Amino acid sequence: MKWLINLLRGYVELQVTGAFPERLLNLCAQNRVQFWRLCWLDETSFTFRVALKDRKRLDGLAQRAMCGLTERGRRGAAAVAERMVERRWGFLAGLAFCFLAVSFLSRFLLVVDVAGNDAVSTAVILSQLRRAGVRPGAYGPAISEMAAANEALRGLPQLSYMAINIYGTRAEVVVREREEKPELVNEDAPADVVAEADGVIEDIHTDTGRALFQDGDVVAKGEVLITGVLDLEEPEYGTVDLGYLVVRAAGSATARTWRTLEETIPLTVQAKEYTGEERTGYAVKILWFDLDFLQNSSILDGRCDKITETEQLDLFGRPLPVWLTTQTLRGYELVEKPVDREGAAAQLEEVLRFRLEELMASNGGEVLQSAVTAREEGGRLTVALTAECRENIARTVEREGAVGRITGAEPP
């Protein structure tokens, strides 16, 4: 551990020459000057090491012992710092340059963080902020935080609130997404409840209106399940026609249904076959300066893929205002290739099951059993998914007119 401490504080290695050099060692001990690594060269000379801070004291002690001192080298952190200070012009210039660079560069944005978003992607928000002038490399003091937030909000109707806070080289963007307004029901508009799909009714429930079917009945798509027209019955022995009452029908109808979904794809597709020709170009952006070398990667003859990657460089985990863009061009030709029938059928089945799950989620239903079939015809592969489901098939359909009691006319 001592060698590490001596290396940090710095030391000097000296050669002592004299008639009685041991006198100097006695004086060092009397004056509490630590030394180590003593090595006798002969009877009149030896070498040893002392701390750099004790170097000047040794000159006086050597004169008293009538010995000569010769430096053989200085080592350690303090010695390196001492040599740097001796070259003051370079050290001061470097220090001044570093100070100015830090003061100047700390005014530019290096990072833009977005928080509070869920449905709206961060990339969309950053793209809109870039149009408003908030981007890595922008001059921070020149940005009006409130004006930039208002300008970005105009292009993002999905957001209801945005605040921009700039902390040195970092811009923090806090957003709040707009809540969807609930769908307003026009209670003054008459409506019927109709069947959205064919099925066998298992349970029909009426909130408003009159049910036209019972449990166990078979209904077809589009048939009225619950009517909004109620005939007002006259009292016994009455002679006055009370007419009918038009309301907004409401209710639910749980039924067993059979759904058939299909997807189709061609049996041959055009696929890319790379020719092996490839070119790469680079571009560097430092703050607002662009060094574009992409012109050297000219477009290949024919078709080609363009792959562009942009990376922000960092130093010891701290982002720098430097972005490196790499653009790779790969040439290819289109050739006809047959599709993998088993893989294509599995992929189409996955798509159909996803569509069925979405359909059941919207209707609050469940899949009881399902079966998948595949057929080939006309150079195309068709996959069909047949499922037996239990779901709510009731849907409200508005019609013309107004709610209320109507007399002297036929019911609509």
How large is the average pLDDT for residues 201-211?
90
275: pLDDT strictly greater than 80: yes
Going by DSSP bridges, is the β-strand pair 229-231/244-246 parallel, antiparallel, or unpaired?
antiparallel
Residue 203 domain flag = yes
383: pLDDT strictly greater than 70: yes
Same domain, 178 and 208: no
Asked whether 195 and 209 are in contact (CB, 8 A), the reply is no
Residue 197 domain flag = yes
Residue 51 domain flag = yes
> What are the backbone dihedrals phi and psi of residue 140, each rounded to the nearest 5 degrees, phi first?
-60, -50
Same domain, 10 and 26: yes
- E runs forming strands in 116-195: 159-167, 170-177, 191-195
Residue 315 domain flag = yes
Instruction: Please write the tens of the pLDDT for every residue from 77-118.
Output: 666 666 655 556 666 677 777 777 777 777 888 888 999 998
Residue 105: give its domain's CATH number: 3.10.20.310
Domain closes at, from 158, 182, 206:
182
Q: Which domain holds residue 120?
A: 90-182
Task: Write out the two tokens for 361.
Answer: 């989620």
How large is the average pLDDT for residues 289-298?
63
Supply the pLDDT for residue 239.
59
How large is the average pLDDT for residues 361-375?
90
Q: How many helices (H) and strands (E) does the chain have?
A: 8, 23
Supply the pLDDT for residue 53.
81
Supply the pLDDT for residue 398.
84
Same domain, 79 and 67: yes
229: pLDDT strictly greater than 70: yes
Supply the pLDDT for residue 103.
76
Instruction: Please write the tens of the pLDDT for every residue from 147-171.
Output: 999 999 999 999 999 999 998 888 9
176: pLDDT strictly greater than 90: yes
Same domain, 217 and 241: yes
Residue (of 66, 9, 67) closest to 36 by Cα position? 9
The least confident of 175-184, 240-249, 349-358 is: 240-249
405: pLDDT strictly greater than 70: no
Residue 409 domain flag = no
How large is the average pLDDT for residues 329-346?
87
Supply the pLDDT for residue 129.
92
The least confident of 7-21, 285-299, 352-366 is: 285-299
Same domain, 107 and 156: yes
Q: How far is the CA of 53 from the CAs of 6, 78, 171, in angstroms?
A: 11, 9, 48
The least confident of 223-232, 364-373, 398-407 is: 398-407
Residue 306 domain flag = yes
Same domain, 96 and 161: yes
Supply the pLDDT for residue 54.
81
How far apart are alpha carbons 211 and 226 in whole angstroms?
Answer: 4
Domain closes at, from 63, 83, 103:
83
How far apart are alpha carbons 268 and 338 in whole angstroms?
Answer: 4
Residue 410 domain flag = no
Same domain, 371 and 332: no
Q: Domain count for the chain, please give it.
A: 5
Residue 78: give its domain's CATH number: 3.30.70.2280
Same domain, 288 and 330: yes
Going by DSSP bridges, is the β-strand pair 394-398/366-377 parallel, antiparallel, or unpaired?
unpaired
Same domain, 331 and 362: no
Q: With cut-offs at 50, 70 and 90, classify the pLDDT of residue 142.
A: confident
Q: With cut-offs at 50, 70 and 90, classify the pLDDT of residue 386.
A: very high
Instruction: Please write the tens of the pLDDT for every residue from 49-78.
Output: 888 888 788 888 888 888 888 888 887 766
Residue 79 domain flag = yes
Residue (of 189, 204, 155, 190) closest to 175 by Cα position? 155
